[in-house]
A and B are shown apart, each in its own frame.
Chain A
Amino acid sequence: MSPESHAGHALAPVRTSLEPTAETAPAAPAADAFEAARLALLRDLQLAFRKRSQLIQPLAFFAMVTLLFPLAVSPELSRLRELAPGVLWVGALLASLLAVEFLFRDDAYDGTLEQYALSGQSLTALMFAKTLAHWLLTGFPLALMAPLAALSLGVSASALPGIVAAVAVGSVTLSLIGSIGAALTLGIKRSGALLSLLTLPLSLPVLIFGARATELAIHGAPAHAPLELLAALAVLGTTLAPLAAAAAVRISLE
């Protein structure tokens, strides 16, 4: 079932020990890590496009959640507009959570993750690459879908660019935080609930700032402050999360 990919063959040769030898010692470690990351990213994107149906699932879930609220609350657009920031962001958060379960699953199953860990390449860089691929496949489409959901909740078109920006930046951090949870729960059977328990508290700041940015956008007010905070969180996450995820993966593979 494990599909071949050119990117996989082009990775640095697998070491059986951690001692660098003449053949496996990297010529320029930094450039090598970047190259490995680039290849891992391409591999993930290629593999994902072979299972397009799996890509749609988080988006369909997001649409479904958005549908639930009018039915549960009221069809009145004015009321829905008030709820819209919350609905959009809770939906995005849950959809992201759903998607992140698949971040490492296939690679852990077919041994690719182990290869990554043993390859001698920077596991942190590989983690970042995988998370970036994950965001490109879920968070970014979610950000493009958010305007549709927002319109269905009575939000005016002028607010849409702000909403796309907020969800796009916020979902980066959500993917990063999710990668840590996914790495920690590797190999735990039926870890869905535990993964949510681990990831959701850590994602609360994104929820808070994202919803605020969306709220400001809907009211036509400048949303710089929360957007900048979202961006700051994304930067912080980019520096720290892949490191934590790499550590967690090594621990899980022991």
Chain B
Amino acid sequence: MTWTWFHRLASPPYVYALATRLTPWFAWPAALCILAGLWEGLVLAPPDYQQGDGFRIIYVHAPSAWMSLMVYTTMAIAAAVGLIWRIKVAHAVAASCAPIGASFTFAALVTGALWGEPMWGTYWQWDPRLTSELVLLFLYLGYMGLRAGIEDTQRADRASAVLAVVGVVNVPIIHYSVTWWNSLHQAPSVMRLAKPAMPLAMLVPLLLMLLGFTLFFVALLLTRLRGEVLQRERAASWIREVVSA
């Protein structure tokens, strides 16, 4: 039973139809969650006793940072699946993830810098989290650059898949080494971006935003996936019906 489901997911026409059907089921709930999160986070939640209203940047920074990592992991897993079992749809998923992940890494860096200026007095701080985010951006750009540099789609899929898997193994190592490096040169007063204990009124909107962003990612992924799947199918007859619709 489970294997039929798995096999169907490898079938491009099935995945295309499924993605088309499912997109609104992720897009609308995403919008709802984000709007609810914004309302609760911006309006209802009380100001932080240390950072005042400035802490509210967390409601866009934390979800962006979460996205950057989650999307990379998804990309690496899809790439590995595509590489091991030679499933084109999996490669299509990985290709769809990259631009989404890169743009949210960028957002995480910008919002992090904007948070840093009032809190640390400097737009950029070489703290472990921001530094790791920057490295992650380069990993995304490298992945996208490699894909762009190889003409043949199948070769590009497989080469970038190897890169993604190598990258994902490195991400914890890089994060560990950057944290280690930073702890050696710890500035006396470093504001921690994530407070350990958050009152519920502040936590709930954060969770809503995290959920909303995740749903948004799935909706985006499904949209891009359809295009990527089409690109990898050449003469298939199912395309005729889909495209002339």
Contacts and interface: CB of A to CB of B under 8 A. Distances in A.
Contacts of A115: none
A32 to B, nearest CB: 26
Contact of B165 (A191, A209, A244): A244
Specify the main secondary structure of chain A where it touches its partner.
helix
A42 interface: no
Given A184-B159, A252-B155, A201 B138 contact: yes
Contact of B142 (A198, A208, A209, A247): A198
B98 to A, nearest CB: 14
Contacts of A229: 177
Given A184-B146, A188-B149, A252-B159, A201 B174 contact: yes
Nearest to B181: A208
A194 B180 CA distance: 28
Given A194-B149, A244-B162, A251-B162, A204 B177 contact: yes
A185 B146 contact: yes
Interface residue tally of chain B, by bracket? Answer: 20 to 34
**Chain B CB within 10 Å — which of A194, A205, A229 has the most?**
A205
Interface in B145-201: 145-146, 149-150, 154-155, 158-159, 162-163, 165-167, 169-170, 173-174, 176-178, 180-181, 184
Interface residue tally of chain A, by bracket? Answer: 20 to 34
A240 interface: yes
Contacts of B170: 201-202, 205
B177 A185 contact: no
Nearest to B138: A201
B159 A197 contact: no
A23 interface: no
B177 A205 contact: yes
Interface string A219-244: 00000000001000100000010001
A251 B154 CA distance: 9
B155 A212 contact: no
Q: Give me the 4 closest cross-chain CB pairs, A-B, nearest first.
A: A205-B177, A251-B158, A198-B142, A201-B138
Interface of A: 180, 184-185, 188, 191, 194, 197-198, 200-202, 204-205, 208-209, 212, 229, 233, 240, 244, 247-248, 251-252, 254
